[in-house]
Structure formats: structure tokens, C-alpha cells
Amino acid sequence: RSFPALGGVRRQSLAARWPQAAGLGLGVALCAVPVAEQQNSMSLSNDALIKRAVSLVTDSTATLLSQTTYALIEALTEYTKAVYTLVSLYKQYSNLLGKMNSEEVDAIWQVVIGARVDVSPLTLWFILQEYLRLESSWMTALRLSEMAAEAAYQSGADQASVTARSHIQLVKSQVQEVRQLSQKAETKLAEAQTEELIKAQGEDSLPQGVLGSVDSGDDPYLRED
């Protein structure tokens, strides 16, 4: 048998519980959404910060590499100019051999000796030491730039990585070009000295001390790198 009074009480109890359960479920869902969004936001923020930091690093290493490259090229260019100065003087002296008397030959040779004082072995040694010091700094800057480019690539900063690698290739080619010019200058100096010796036709045709000055075994310009 049914009891209407009890049935009404049960329906009222269930109706009262439903809003509470629905409210609880909705609250849990609302709480979960901000947490997920916050995690995604943090992840995006971290990636952005890493990329920004990597970009700053690549910019800094590029600046260091540019400065060391400039200094290295300047030092090597100074050495190359000094060698070419001697090449020019040796050629002038060689071209005048046989066209002058002994006094004129001695006078021209004194000019050559004077130029050698300006670019003496000691002077070239200091230039070379400065070049070697700068080359060490340049190699360090080059390695740092390569590491920065790799870090940029790994972090997803593709543009920074591409820019850094392009800059590295550029400075490498610039330094290589200047090195080749320096080696070419040394080769020309050796050729000019040899030509001068051949035209002199022996020790008797040369001013005193000339042969000793240009002996390939003692001349620092004929060193092998």
C-alpha cells in the first residue's frame, strides 16, 4: 500500500540533493579549467623566455665574433703590408742592378736596409705575436658563436640560429681571404729575393753583407707557416 505523505517527503529529499550534486560537479569542472589554462600559459611563457634569452646570446656572441674578426684581420693586414713593402724594394733594387755603378748600388741598398729596419724581424715578430693572440681570441669567439647557434636551434629559435650560422660562415671566409693574401705576399717576397740574387750574378757583384742579409736560411720572411 502506498503512503502519500512518505512519498512526498522522499521526492522533496531527492529534489534537495540534486542541486547540491549538480553544484558540486560544476564547481569541480570550473576549478579544473583555470589549472589547465595556467599550465599551458606557463609552458608558452617559458618557451618564449628561452627563445628570447637564446636570441640575446646569439646577438652577444655575434658582436664578440665581429670585433675579434676585425682585430685579427687588421693585424694580419699590417703584416702583409710590411712584407709587400720589402717586395717592392727588392724588385726596385733588382731592376737597377747592372745599370748603376758600385756607389749607386750601395746607396740603393741602404734604402732597402732602412726599410728593413722599419719592418725588422723584431717588428714582424711582435706583429706575429699580436696576430697569434688575436687568433686565439677569435677561435674562442667562433666556438661560442657555434654553441649559441646550436642552442638557438635546439630551443626552436630558428631565425636566430640561421642568422648566427650565416655570420659564422661570413667571418670564416673573410679571415681565410686575408690569410691567403698574407701567404701570397710571403711567396712574392721569396721570389723577389731569388730574382735579386740571380741578377746579382754572384757574391762579387753585391754590396758587402747583402748575401748574408737575404740568405733563405736566416731570413724570417721565408719561414714556413
Kindly give, in sequence order, each residue whose CB lies less than 8 Å from that of residue 213, ignoring residues fewer than 6 positions away.
113, 116, 219
Asked if residue 176 has pLDDT above 70, the reply is: yes
Q: What is the pLDDT of residue 223?
A: 45
Q: What is the pLDDT of residue 194?
A: 83
Long-range contacts of 108-114 (CB under 8 A, 24+ apart): 109/207, 109/210, 112/86, 113/213
Q: What is the pLDDT of residue 196?
A: 74
Q: What is the pLDDT of residue 89?
A: 78
Q: What is the pLDDT of residue 6?
A: 44
Q: What is the pLDDT of residue 222?
A: 42
User: Following DSSP, what letter does each residue of the chain receive, concatenated?
Assistant: ---HHHHHHHHHHHHHHHHHHHHHHHHHHHHHHHHHHHHHHHHHHHHHHHHHHHHHHHHHHHHHHHHHHHHHHHHHHHHHHHHHHHHHHHHHHHHHTTSS-HHHHHHHHHHHHHHHHHT-HHHHHHHHHHHHHHHHHHHHHHHHHHHHHHHHHHHT-HHHHHHHHHHHHHHHHHHHHHHHHHHHHHHHHHHHHHHHHHHHTSGGGSPTTHHHHT-TTT-GGG---
pTM of the model: 0.63
Asked if residue 170 has pLDDT above 70, the reply is: yes
Q: What is the pLDDT of residue 46?
A: 87
Does the domain at residues 54-222 carry the CATH identifier 3.20.20.70? no
Helices 4-96, 102-118: axis angle to 10 degrees equals: 160
